Amino acid sequence: MHLSHLPKHLLWFDSVGIFITAITGLVVGLYSMYNFQILSKKLFGSVIAWSMVLGSAVLSGFGLYLGRFARFNSWDLFSNPAHLIKQSLIETSKPLAIQTTMVFSIVLIGLYLSFYNLISFKHENIKNAEKF
């Protein structure tokens, strides 16, 4: 849809660029979430840290719904916060909001758990290698 105006011979080039940018954003976001969890674990303990990570995933899912379907942008938080909060509360009762939030939350949590296990496995291997 966003690339339909391009000539056919440039379509692949812009598609690859968008894909690389999206993957980079996803990996940086997952790594940021990991760092947040590690810091939260040191400050509050493991249970609260995991609760905060899961809560942020649910809020991210709802934020995706607000941007995609309710058509809000990040600057609405600063330009008209009362309207954003009021409309967000109204949106929480809509079935599409609940479904979208749950689907994207589950996907994000699944991606994060995979990322977390890969990072933890790597750190564990490094610690084991240092013993020798």
Domain layout of the chain by residue ranges? 9-117
Distance CA 106, CA 81 (A): 28
What's the confidence (pLDDT) of residue 7?
A: 78
* 63-90: pLDDT as tens digits: 999 999 999 999 999 999 999 999 999 9
What's the confidence (pLDDT) of residue 24?
A: 97
* 14-59: pLDDT as tens digits: 888 889 999 999 999 999 999 999 999 999 999 999 999 999 999 9
What's the confidence (pLDDT) of residue 131?
A: 66
Give the 3-state secondary structure of the chain: CCCCCCCHHHHHHHHHHHHHHHHHHHHHHHHHHHHHHHHHHHHHCHHHHHHHHHHHHHHHHHHHHHHHCCCCCCCHHHHCHHHHHHHHHHHCCCHHHHHHHHHHHHHHHHHHHHHHHHHHHHHHHHHHHHHC
